[in-house]
Amino acid sequence: MNLLRWEPFRESDEFFRRMPAFGRWPKMPDEYEWSPTADISETEKEYLVKADLPGVKREDVHITLENGVITLAGERRQSKEEKSEKSHRVESFYGNFSRSFTVPDDADSKNVRAESKDGVLYLHVPKIKREKVQPLEIKVQ
């Protein structure tokens, strides 16, 4: 008895290939637009943005803060293929990326720092301690 691996789209592709009205499934473009996933958390002292950037070198990441918006931009480059090596399937995304986040009002934008470890960018945005302002009651005359 032979076991075959089930590939759900193989049957669909065969169905559409046989139907002249449908033709073939559309081909995917060679280059995809991608953006890294990001998690944002908060402590009493800071906001923390963790962006997944596997395979991106530190020098290929640019972080800017302007008008209350912090932007992570850069490029993940595709490694050069060896001539003796033939790729059968490539599922990784390559190219330029950009993500922007609005910085809260209590963020200390002058002391933002970033670090990279194990393919994750950690962006630390400290908070400014502000006294809570009591609302001023105004009487209607």
Q: Quick: pLDDT tens for 1-17.
A: 566 666 666 666 666 66
Lowest mean pLDDT among 30-39, 48-57, 64-73, 101-110: 30-39
Read off the pLDDT of each residue in 37-63 and give the average, rounded to a whole number.
Answer: 92
Q: What is the mean pLDDT of residues 23-30?
A: 49
Tell me the C-alpha to C-alpha distance, in Å, between residue 63 and each of 44, 52, 72, 96, 102: 24, 14, 5, 14, 13
| DSSP code, position 110 | G
* Beta-carbon contacts of residue 2 (< 8 Å; ≥ 6 apart): none
Domains of the chain: 31-78+93-129 (2.60.40.790)
What confidence score (pLDDT) does residue 86 get? Answer: 79
Burial of residue 32 (number of CB atoms within 10 Å: 0-12, 13-18, 19+)? exposed
48 versus 133: the higher-pLDDT residue is 48
Check: CB of residue 120 under 8 Å from CB of residue 89. Answer: no
